[in-house]
């Protein structure tokens, strides 16, 4: 950063509910950053385990850690909103309590923010299995290796539905605090599914300077209980979120963006149909007839099968 002026401060927000087994690792990955102008705000979201005590112990030894304890469970959206209100940093970064940062993550992303004068910056992710510290694959295959990728709203929403990699809803961007407060951007506390994606779309409707790099600075750990294992009605609700976004933001979203949101809905619904067919023992061979009737579904299922085989080999 420029030595003539103080480096921007980054507030890292961690929402934690019953994370006593892993939140310490998340916090220490923040404290060990090569970028030193930081604070780490951990919101204990009414945990019933010893999460609060774990965080308090770390905070007592490092003043950069701020513990905010909630008496009632608000969910990730509410917890993050309370942290954002409390943040004193020039930028706000997100970290899930069961994930970690690479040591150079903040330094590299703040360098990108400075060079592009960005409102939002983001990186790729190293996908790993919980309990292991081994890189399996990159989360986003659309990041450029040669230069930063500029995310217009159309580009962002184009990648909102991916089969051979994660979609943009899994990203963990760093936001300019001024940008968030200028547009009064907060998480929707009524949402407990896909709340990140909905928040990001409300941000990109204002056409921010938004750049991403291929560097894997965020370590994402796959655990049981992910969206892919959730109930069918929950997956359907996530799919139909596109309708609500289009209705609420239509005046800010351009035609191509709306088209991509509609495509996201259709893909989620088709994949949900396939999951339900697979889980119904009475369907049997009929599910393959359904595939032949729907070329789009056949394509999605084939790509998903290829992805699983590729990951298993890796």
- Kindly state whether residue 3 falls inside one of the protein's structural domains: no
Hey, how many other C-beta atoms are within 10 angstroms of the C-beta on 36?
A: 12
**Residue at a domain's end among 210, 227, 244:** 227
3-state class (DSSP) for residue 134: coil
Question: Could you read off the pLDDT of 65-85 as tens digits, one per residue?
Answer: 999 999 999 999 999 999 999
173 and 114 within one domain: yes
Q: Does pLDDT of 280 surpass 70?
A: no
Between the alpha carbon of residue 59 and those of residues 64, 81, 137, 307, the distances in Å are: 7, 21, 33, 41
Q: Within this chain, do residues 26 and 153 fall inside the same structural domain, yes or no?
A: yes
Q: Which of 178, 205, 227 is the last residue of a domain?
A: 227
Query: Among 227, 251, 280, which residue terminates a domain?
Result: 227
pTM, two decimals, is 0.87
- Asked whether residue 230 carries a pLDDT value surpassing 80, the answer given is no
Residue whose tokens read 């923040």: 30
CB-hemisphere CA count at 13 Å for 238?
Answer: 24
Over range 192-202, report the average pLDDT.
94
Are 41 and 131 in a shared domain? yes
The rounded distance, in Å, linking the Cα atoms of 222 and 99 is 9
- pLDDT grade, residue 271 (50/70/90)? confident
Whether 13 shows a pLDDT value over 70: the answer reads: yes
Clarify whether residues 244 and 222 are in a common domain: no
pLDDT category at 26 given cuts 50, 70, 90 is very high
Does 22 lie in the same domain as 97? yes
One domain, residues 144 and 210: yes
- If asked whether residues 149 and 15 sit together in one domain, one would say yes
Output the CA–CA distances (angstroms, integers) from residue 51 to 25, 55, 75, 130, in the order listed: 12, 6, 15, 18
> What CATH code is carried by the domain that includes residue 126?
3.90.550.10
Strands 38-45 and 65-70: parallel
pLDDT > 70: what percent of the chain? 81
Residue 81 lies in a domain: yes
| Same structural domain, 261 and 185 | no
- State pLDDT tens for residues 203-227: 999 999 999 999 999 999 987 644 4
Instruction: Collect all residues with Cβ–Cβ distance below 8 Å to 313 and sequence separation of at least 6.
Output: none
What are the structure tokens assigned to 286, written together? 């009929």
Other beta carbons within 10 angstroms of residue 285's beta carbon come to 6
Same domain, 92 and 235: no
Within this chain, do residues 175 and 284 fall inside the same structural domain, yes or no? no
Cβ atoms within 10 A of the Cβ of 300, count?
A: 20
Phi, psi (degrees; rounded to nearest 5) at 204? -75, -15
Structural domains of the chain, count: 2
Beta-bridge mates of residue 41: 13, 66
Domain that includes residue 273, residue range: 229-313
């Amino acid at each position: 950063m420029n030595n003539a002026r103080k480096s921007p401060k980054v507030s890292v927000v961690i929402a934690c509910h019953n994370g006593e087994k892993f939140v310490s690792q998340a916090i220490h990955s923040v404290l060990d950053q090569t970028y030193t102008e930081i604070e780490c705000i951990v919101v204990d979201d009414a945990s019933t385990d010893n999460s609060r005590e774990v965080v308090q112990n770390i905070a007592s030894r490092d003043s950069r850690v701020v513990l905010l304890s909630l008496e009632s469970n608000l969910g990730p959206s509410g917890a993050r909103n309370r942290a954002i209100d409390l943040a004193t940093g020039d930028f706000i970064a997100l970290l899930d309590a069961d994930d970690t940062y690479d040591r150079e993550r903040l330094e590299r992303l703040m360098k990108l923010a400075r060079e592009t004068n960005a409102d939002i910056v983001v990186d790729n992710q190293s996908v790993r299995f919980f309990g292991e510290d081994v890189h399996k694959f990159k989360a986003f295959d659309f990041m450029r290796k040669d230069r930063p990728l500029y995310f217009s709203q159309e580009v962002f929403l184009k990648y909102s539905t991916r089969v051979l990699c994660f979609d943009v809803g899994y990203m963990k961007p760093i936001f300019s605090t001024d940008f968030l407060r200028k547009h009064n951007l907060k998480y929707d506390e009524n949402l407990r599914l896909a709340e990140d994606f909905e928040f990001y779309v409300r941000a990109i409707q204002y056409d921010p300077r938004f750049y991403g790099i291929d560097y894997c600075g965020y370590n994402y750990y796959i655990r049981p209980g992910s969206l892919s294992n959730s109930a069918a009605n929950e997956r359907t609700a996530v799919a139909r979120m596109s309708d609500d976004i289009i209705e609420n933001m239509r005046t800010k979203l351009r035609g191509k963006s709306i088209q991509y949101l509609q495509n996201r809905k259709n893909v989620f619904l088709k994949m949900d149909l396939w999951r339900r067919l697979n889980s119904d023992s009475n369907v049997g061979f009929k599910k393959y007839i359904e595939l032949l009737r729907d070329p789009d579904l056949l394509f999605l299922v084939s790509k998903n099968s290829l992805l699983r085989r590729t990951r298993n080999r890796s």
